[in-house]
């Protein structure tokens, strides 16, 4: 199955930036041909990834994919404060952070597989980020994208419903652009204190349950965090095979 690497994205982004001049200038036809070739290559890569997640990639995703690739390096970090002491952070397997209140664009899906839910939600968010909003322009990417999950009562499986959330860039926090898609909701999320641990690779129900179990082993018995709701934080797009993720345990209270 074809996969696109981070290096591929960087290279394609550079090519796109180099070829993004005025189409009316001499050679504009060649640039248009290059753009179409780029769109085709990117779409093929993302189509393979979507297929692995058992999701069909609509043709109208070609435009948002190209835009996200061109802006790959310009990603705004969601603001937070690290609460763990410096001496503990250097060797610790996990970290405690506090995220301030903020506005997020959220989509809720309950597909048969976790990967299907997050893929379909992220495609909707990509459209919103790239153009399908009340200002009609690219809003800018922020990281991480959050996927809020819930465990069944037995704690052995994930509930189907997943909330995928994209943090609005700083310039849009006070006045968020309105989505054209009615399934996207702008939500003011309360401050959040979490315990986080990094892991790499694809995120499936199996890998998420394993990471939750590993962090519980590290923390030991505690009632300071929720035991039924967790967050999977994703820092790179779904086409990166060894992408960086974090599992977040949500602390009770503030």
List the domain boundaries for the chain.
6-70, 75-251
Residue 140 region, left (φ>0) first, then alpha (ψ -120 to 50), else beta? left
Name the least confident of 10-14, 33-37, 222-226: 10-14
Residue 66 and residue 34: Cα distance in Å, rounded? 12
pLDDT at 241 exceeding the cut of 90:
no
- Percentage of residues in the chain having pLDDT higher than 90: 59
| Mean of pLDDT over the chain | 82
Residue-wise pLDDT tens digits, 98-109 = 999 999 999 999
3-state secondary structure (DSSP) of residue 159: coil
pLDDT at 45 exceeding the cut of 70:
no
Q: Which of 141, 147, 144 is nearest to 75 (CA)?
A: 141
pLDDT at 20 exceeding the cut of 50:
no
Other Cβ atoms closer than 10 A to 108:
15
Q: CB of 230 within 8 A of CB of 248?
A: yes
Residue 66 and residue 43: Cα distance in Å, rounded? 8
CATH of domain 75-251: 3.20.80.10
């Amino acid at each position: 199955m074809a996969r696109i690497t981070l290096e591929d994205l960087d290279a394609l982004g550079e090519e796109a930036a180099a070829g993004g001049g005025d189409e009316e200038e001499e050679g504009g036809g060649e640039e248009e041909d290059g753009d179409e070739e780029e769109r085709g290559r990117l779409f093929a890569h993302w189509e393979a990834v979507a297929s692995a997640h058992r999701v069909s990639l609509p043709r109208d995703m070609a435009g948002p994919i190209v835009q996200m690739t061109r802006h790959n390096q310009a990603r705004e970090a969601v603001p937070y404060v690290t609460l763990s002491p410096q001496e503990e952070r250097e060797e610790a397997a996990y970290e405690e952070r506090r995220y301030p209140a903020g506005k997020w664009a959220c989509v809720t899906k309950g597909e048969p597989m976790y990967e299907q839910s997050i893929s379909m939600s992220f495609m909707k968010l990509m459209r919103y980020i790239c153009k399908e909003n009340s200002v009609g322009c690219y809003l800018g990417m922020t990281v991480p994208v959050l996927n809020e999950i819930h465990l069944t009562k037995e704690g052995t499986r994930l509930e189907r419903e997943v909330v995928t959330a994209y943090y609005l860039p700083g310039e849009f926090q006070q006045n968020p652009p309105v989505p054209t898609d009615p399934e996207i909701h702008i939500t003011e999320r309360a401050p959040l204190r979490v315990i986080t641990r990094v892991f790499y690779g694809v995120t499936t129900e199996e890998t998420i349950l394993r990471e939750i179990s590993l962090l519980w082993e590290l923390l030991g018995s505690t009632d300071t965090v929720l035991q039924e709701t967790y967050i999977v934080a994703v820092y790179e797009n779904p086409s990166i095979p060894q992408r960086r993720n974090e599992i977040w345990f949500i602390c009770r209270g503030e």
